[in-house]
Amino acid sequence: MAFPPRAVRLNLFFEKLLAHPPVADRKEALSLLVRIMAEVEDFYGLPKNDFTTRMGVFRPQENNPNDWKDLDSDPCYWDDSLTKTHRTIVYNNGRIIIKNIKSNPAVVVLDKSGA
């Protein structure tokens, strides 16, 4: 079965994330990232726990928690586990920034304000 290209799924993820109301803290932001990614992948019928087809971009709970950097700081960040393409930066106030560190680390792909 052919699934939509990763770029299509990622764009839908960004749209859904931006449409969601701001969250109040880091814990809510992390939960939101994981939940929306799962919704997008489930919507397209991707097999559960098959990270060759699922994006695996924002999967902090399914990876070693030590993959997060600067957890004692504000912000902390995590680089996606599969391709090291995206860096997710999460602030204590719930703000989420996503950068494409592979093509141009200075360019922000998504900036969602916290509450």
**Lookup result for tokens 């990270």:** 51
Nearest CA among 100, 81, 97 for reference residue 89: 97
Q: How many independent structural domains does the chain possess? A: 1
DSSP 1-29: -----HHHHHHHHHHHHHHSPP-SSHHHH
The reply to whether 84 falls in a domain is yes
1 in a structural domain: no
pTM (predicted TM-score): 0.83
108 occurs within a structural domain: yes
pLDDT in tens, 27-84: 999 889 888 988 888 888 777 765 555 555 555 444 455 577 888 899 999 887 667 7
Does residue 101 sit within a domain?
A: yes
Predicted pLDDT at 62: 47
